[in-house]
Amino acid sequence: MKYQDGPSTEVDVLIDSPIERVWQLVTDINLPAQFSTEFLGAHWLDDAPRVGARFLGRNHHRALGEWETISFVNRYEPLRVFGWAVTDPDKPSSCWWFELEQEPGGVRLRQGTVMGPAPSGLTIAINAMPDKEERIIARRLQEYETNMRATLEGIKQLAEAQP
C-alpha cells in the first residue's frame, strides 16, 4: 500500500444508548483526548460545530514529538456524521470521521480515517526510507486503529453509563 493510494482504516462499536447521547459525545472535540495516547485535545476557532468551522488540535507521538494542526469540518449531518479534514479542506493531510447509524440493538458508531493526499508527518519517514513505505503505513494504520478503538470504547462506556 502506498501513501498516494489514500490508505484508510475504520473501526466500529454497538452502543446501547439513545443516538442523541452518542451524537453529543462524538461532537465534543476534546473527548477523544481522554482515551487516545496521541490526541491531546482541541479547541474551536470558529462557531461550531458546522461545515467549514475550524478547530486547532494538539497531538503527540513518541517518534514525532508534539504538533498542532488546524482542521476543517467537512461533514456535518446531525445525528448521522461528523467529519473533518486536516490542514486543508481541499487537499488534506488526512480526513477523520464519526458515523452513527441506528440499529435494533442500539447505535452503530464508526470512526475512520484516510491518509493524504497532501503530505503529513508520515511522509518524512517514507521519504527517508522509501523501500519501507508499506511497513511504515501498516504500522501507522495500526496505531490509528488502536486509538480509535480506545476512543469508541470510551464513548460506549460514557454513553451507556448515562441513565
pLDDT tens, residue order, the chain (163 aa)? 899 999 999 999 999 999 999 999 999 999 999 999 999 999 999 988 899 999 999 999 988 889 999 999 999 999 999 999 999 999 999 999 999 999 999 999 999 999 999 989 888 889 999 999 999 999 999 999 999 999 999 999 999 996 6
CATH code for position 139: 3.30.530.20
Domain count, the chain: 1
Range of the domain at 68: 3-161
Query: Which pTM value belongs to this model?
Result: 0.94
The verdict on whether omega for the bond into residue 117 sits within 30 degrees of 0, i.e. cis, is yes
Helix, strand, coil share of the chain (percent; to 5): 35, 35, 30
Give the pLDDT of residue 64. 80
Rounded to an integer, what is the distance from CA 135 to the centroid of its chain? 21
Is 161 strand, coil or helix? helix
What is d(CA 13, CA 22) in angstroms, rounded to the nearest whole number?
A: 11
pLDDT at residue 163, rounded to an integer: 61
| Residues 39/31, Cβ–Cβ less than 8 Å | no
